[in-house]
Structure 1
Amino acid sequence: FSGAQLAGFAPACVLGLLLFSLLYVQLARPMQLYINGVPTVLVQDEAQAQALLEEVKTELAALYPAAANLRYEADLTFSKSGVEVKAKSAEASEIRTVLKEKLDWKVDASAIQVNQAKTAVLASTEEAESVLDTVKRAYLPSNGNVTLVEAEFVEPIEVVTVEASIRELDSATEAVQLLTQGTEKIEEYVLKAGDSLWTIASENDTSVEALQAANPNVGEKSLQIGEVLKLAKAEPMVSVKTVIKAVNEEKIPYSTVYEKDSSAFKGQQSVVKAGTEGKKAVTYEIAQVNGVELERKVIAETVVAEPVNKIVKTGTKTIVASRGGGGSGVLAWPIRGRINSPFGQRGRGYHTGIDIDANKGDPIYASAGGTVTQASYSGGYGNCVIIDHGDGLSTLYAHLSKLSVSVGQKVSRSELIGLAGSTGNSTGPHLHFEVRVNGGYKNPINYLN
């Protein structure tokens, strides 16, 4: 080509380059993605947006595998109008986030209705049924001696198919918590020094009764610093009624059989054979609601071991006081002397024995053979000796100036046990002498020869 010809092509080349540049800029400029007419994010082109949309759908389908018919309901439009020439498309991760969060993704889900009101929404019917089964099992017996008869919900409950946003879906754990604890938030309080149920209730606008209801295992005396208390009682949205059978081992009380013994005096008793409690297996049918017992009835009893009766011999021999003022002769006189104070009412009080006149240092003898159970100073009795003669009979010797025996010692009838004196609550030397039968005070005169 000649120079003139090349010069003629120049304007055309320049115009071509200009058009190509304008076309390139137009093609390279990102597009604004509108969701329901609202601008959200810049994308390279519609193809990129559609590809990322499929990726998001696949990701959500993996998160909710049990949900059916995953979809979104929105109008997506694209436009380069108003987008600056130098604008850049957003990163793919940002576009995915926008598509995930801005679109209202929906599924065909299953709702648990309690009293015809929707409570929890699960991804599938199988998940909803599993949640209800978990709620039931929370109140089933774990004890090996307990068996379940039946378990049912008190309220009418239904699982229905609903259209739900994925934001509405509850996890199985959330659904169980919702049904068993309700929607009320349970606040907690950490105990500190000086706290009491009353002060905690006062500070938190509640009552002691409400605190005790929310924390049934906590008592005023068992509060510990650092312990966590619930400030509100959870109110479950459903109630589970269970009927269980429980087998308990219980004691059978023994009976006491009294046998007459003509060789022992009236009032004297001796145990011939100790009693033994029996055992029985008792089967109860127990009705509960949310673990709280409503009713219990016995449906069976089986005796495991029969009780063994306690056998006690009781004396029938009558004690007759002699006309000459003497007694039955069961006991010997511990010392001979005048009776200064008899048995029975004395002024405003009651004299539980007899007072026999004596000089300090006079010997005191055992009224009958037996075992010394006390030989020591004892308050108003002063130096005192008690002898157990068996069959419930014992004698007491008080105000002694000296003790000649010790606890556990075996003594014979008329054996020296001490010396008369005036120790304890006493106005002068004498012997205070008591006769006791099975712990009761008796008139010694009726026993002395």
Structure 2
Amino acid sequence: MAALNPGNFMPSGSPRSVPTDSKMRMYQVSKGDTLWDISRKFKVDLEMLRIINGLDRNCALSVGQILEIPYHRSRVHTIKAGDTLWGIAARYEVSLSQLSQANPDINPRNLQIGKRIVVPDSTSSVSALAVQPSRSYAGFSTVMMAWPVTGSITSPYGWRKSGFHHGIDIAGDIGDAIKAAAAGKVTFTGNQAIYGKTVVIEHPDGKESMYAHCQKILVNKNDYVVRGQPIATIGMTGRTTGPHLHFEVKIDGENDNPIKYLRY
């Protein structure tokens, strides 16, 4: 049996995948494959891969099983109070027809707050993104990340009087939950100079996120977390003048402005 829970095995060679008219690759599970390995190989969000294929966290992959792998980037919008289908379409620069056909189970006159809907890429055909009603995407595209905490930015990314700031500082209260910005593997937990108690998460699409100045760390190294899972609490450890989260994003080992990847 192949494992659903991530392991140490990394499949070798080229993945057996075939592009289809529906913009999905079909991947055949090999012995030793894990969903984590597959998500990293194709640079697809782990949560999205799980939901697309109707897998829960306790389900085991079977050798020979066929998985659908997104062949393009799609986005997901969480419906909020006041949203209309027309407004969502305008925001993402897609037609109302595309949005409706990509979400055949949505009633435009009765949008459910909190429900997530697929937003097709504006350059893709509608049929490329159509999904079955029972297969709503539960993650965002591999580019976007969720906000780890809710609060105002007290110090942006870039140069400041004390030097270059490699992340953003988000205000919060002592003990507020810090949540994983995206699914991934915890690669570091512990104390770092300046940053205090810190958590680092590696994501399948090549990004790495860091959460610093924590009061309490709730995960361990080598844990696998999902988007929105509490991983720590806001604190004042390390060099800081007040409670906040210092949040960084790295792409291929290089710091980048987290705002570019956080979804508003």
Query: Where on the TM-score scale, by shorter chain, does this alignment land: which range?
Result: 0.3 to 0.5
Question: Counting helix residues as a fraction of each chain, which structure ranks higher?
Answer: 1
1 or 2 for the larger relative contact order (CA 8 Å, sep ≥6)? 2
Q: Give me the TM-score of the superposition, normalised by structure 1.
A: 0.28
Question: Counting strand residues as a fraction of each chain, which structure ranks higher?
Answer: 1
Which structure has the greater CA radius of gyration? 1
